[in-house]
A and B are shown apart, each in its own frame.
Chain A
Amino acid sequence: MADLGKRNGYQGVAVAVPVTVPYTRYSTHGAHWFIGHALKALIDNSGIDKAEIDGLVVSSFSLAPDTAVGVTQHLGVSPRWLDHVPTGGASGVMGLRRAARAVQAGDAHIVACIAADTNHVDSFRQTLNSFSHFARDATYPYGAGGPNSMFAFITAHYMRQYGATREDFGRIAVSQRANALKNPNALMKKPLSMDEYIQAKAISDPIHLFDCVMPCAGADAFLVMSEAKARELGLPHALLHGAIERHNAYADDPVMVRGGWRMDRDELYAQAGVRPEQIDFVQTYDDYPVIVMMQFEDLGFCEKGEGPAFVRQHTLTHDGTFPNNTSGGQLSIGQAGAAGGYVGMVEAIRQLTGAAGPRSVAQAKLGLVAGFGMVTYDRCLCTGAVILGSSTDPRAHSHSLPPEGAHASFEAARQEA
């Protein structure tokens, strides 16, 4: 019974075919347009017939009043497994977790995971006002700053508590910009110096311009299938080694100083059979640099409060000592709504399948992707993370061995049941 609290493992699940529908600052198209483009790209890039895609998970804010099911008729697909994951920055991790289980259970063979949002000229303001009941009642009427003011609270509090400086956050933003210059899809095309970061105009003190993401339109997507299927189709793929999620963690902390990753990280690493220092790159969720720093701490790369020292000790570019957000992240690519929760996922798949071009992390075998989503009141509620591995990494094959302890395989669990 001691194992009841443990998740079953994610053995045998592959992620493949990362696609990005190019981002634009504004678009006159609707969300369906971007979802359609993403699905077409998945099909074109994989050679899989549209009818063979029998699972679909969709994340989008601008799809309303439709949900994923409306997408099926709009795009003429008939999946036998469907999910709608409206959790913004956590949607990539959560979509993958759900799709992985569907594949393990045989509910679907090939699941298309798609996050897409459009951005009209007044979309952002309207999204903020109607984002949640709590936001409508208890935050939006206070300056209508959206998440900027809440993360200004969190950042100011963190700075005072742990002695972080704006330069520390600047290291994160500046490194990501360097990565973004090697990503043709990034909307930010100019280098960013520390001086420019510091001198940027104040938005909601201590949040300045380059601490904020730029809302835009676009889509990201990938396919989830069994490892065997990926091999059969000859698709370059990465393997899922572990995955966690947690919601409304540490609700009694008066101001957010830690995220739910912390509650589940031991199990994440245990599932994957690795330690944090073995991870070759991380794709943190970067709505604001302070959250990136918290992830370094809460995912176990350093202790709580050591985030500032950690970023001073490391170089964070793709060729640095601790590669973080190698595609530039949302801070430099742009945030296409829910696709912001997919940016790290598609980049991790690219890194692990040798498709990251000039921003490749040398010999990347293991990557960690974190998600963070949904500020309904004073903090983000959803946290999640996955560890992905290269399909050529010998560690990957250790997981096909008979399971023990926390790594009970799905089949073993089913037999027990």
Chain B
Amino acid sequence: MSPPFPKPRPKNPQLRTPQLTLPPASRGRVALGLTAEAAEGRFALQVCEECGAVQYPPREACRVCLSHRLRWKAQAGGGVLLTSTTLNHSNDPYFRDRLPWRLGMVQLDVGPSVMAHLHGDVALPTQPGENVRVRVTTRLDRSGKAVMVALPEQETPHMSDDPLLREMGSDPRYRKVLVTDGKSAVGQALIKALIAAGAERIWAGQTEPWKAAPGLDELAKLPQVTLVPLDVGQERSVIELAGQIGGKVDILINNAEMHRTFGITGRRGVEVARAEMEVNYFGLLRLAQAFGPVLRARAADGPAHATAWVNLLSIFALANWPAQGTFSASKAAAYSLAQALRADMRGSGIHVLNVFPGPLDDEWNQPMPPPKLAPSALANAIVKALRDGVEDIYPGDIAQDWLTRWRDNPKVLERELSAGAM
């Protein structure tokens, strides 16, 4: 079993902050398919649509029948560990910092042999012919590229504390988190989920602190929680908070949003739409400029280094839902900006998680019929996504339904939505 991850000791301010190194990031275009699947938490391999042969490493043509029709298909990942090694020398600075490092060669039940990072709890075969079963999956490494990971077939105690998995996720345990809006139902659910996940400290932003927020006072009494004034719609507010706590934040969760439920002809003027953009789009931009650089600078700062940035977007960012036309547009703008943020952060080892929920079960969606996403379910999905290191999640039945339809044919979805469908 893995030893439990110990609570990191307080940082010695006299020591140099370690600088970030990243694992090799270069991949070919075809191989990026593995990353695209892993980014959503799927382990998939190319499968030949003509002869069914499973391929690895990624290819341009089937190695059996030469068909070019290779599709990424989800795989169970079961296999046998054929051979392994412990690396004590590496040519790459990232791995040099982390030696010794275990590697294995696994023959998947579906055919190919794959080289994989080996979890510490995988036992080694000792006899000829002895089969050690493992479960192979993909994770995004700190360069944001998919790598194969071979795990014990059965769950082991403290399995996620293995340095390998910690390195390939953003586990909130012993980390300090800023939740930009602590007042909303989602914000409060996030605070609870983060405490349950072992976060060391949570700063909960609150706009207009003089206005009561039911539930928040109770949460604020918890030792891990500190309320901080924050209005992402105000440049000064964001900069002031970054000056106070920016150098300590390990995970930033931007859940602040302005949500009004109008179509574009439902109300005259642009003030509400502008207010949505101020929070949903410019708010993200302000946070990125104020917190981004310092987060990046601490991406290798000890065992609980700065690690992740979470954007609460909306499934309406993919395709506009006319009933909430301006809100959808502001989320689409935020999504586009979040892609730029991810590109900006990736080279610095900070993982950007984009969250695309369907309609939440909150006050602004009060007239909508179910299924609606409970704030606690959203919060738990975010914490799990942080642990697993995935990049995009679409929590809830409506988000999954929209995603499927959008992937199938965005134009058909647009027509369905414009006809008033959900």
Residues of A with Cβ closer than 8 Å to B? 124-125, 128-130, 133-134, 136-146, 148-150, 152-154, 156-157, 160-161, 201-207, 254-255, 377-378
Contacts and interface: CB of A to CB of B under 8 A. Distances in A.
Contact of B85 (A130, A133, A134, A149): A149
Nearest to A124: B91
Given A141-B147, A143-B117, 6 more contacts: A142-B103, A142-B147, A145-B103, A153-B83, A203-B87, A204-B88
Contacts of A145: 87, 89-91, 95, 103
A136 B28 contact: yes
Interface residues of B, number: 43
B83 A154 contact: yes
B88 A144 contact: no
Given A145-B89, A153-B84, A378-B113, A136 B26 contact: yes
Given A153-B83, A254-B82, A138 B114 contact: yes
Interface of B: 23-28, 30-31, 56-58, 82-92, 94-95, 101, 103-105, 107, 113-117, 125-128, 141, 143, 145, 147-148
Contact of B103 (A129, A149, A157, A255): A149
B216 to A, nearest CB: 44
Nearest to A212: B89
A137 B90 contact: no
B87 A255 contact: no
21 contacts: A133-B57, A136-B26, A137-B28, A140-B24, A140-B26, A141-B25, A141-B145, A141-B147, A143-B90, A144-B23, A144-B24, A149-B87, A153-B85, A153-B103, A153-B105, A153-B115, A161-B128, A204-B86, A204-B87, A204-B88, A206-B85
Contacts of A138: 31, 56-58, 114-115
A136 B116 CA distance: 14
A136 B57 CA distance: 10
A152 B117 CA distance: 14
Nearest to B23: A141
Given A134-B57, A137-B27, A144 B83 contact: no
Cβ-closest 6 pairs across A and B? A144-B92, A152-B85, A137-B31, A138-B57, A157-B83, A125-B91
Nearest to A158: B83
A255 B82 contact: yes
A139 B95 CA distance: 13
A160 B125 contact: yes
B84 A156 contact: yes
B122 to A, nearest CB: 14
Contacts of A139: 115
Contacts of B127: 160
B85 A156 contact: yes
Nearest to A205: B86
B83 A156 contact: yes
Contacts of A157: 82-83, 105
A158 to B, nearest CB: 9
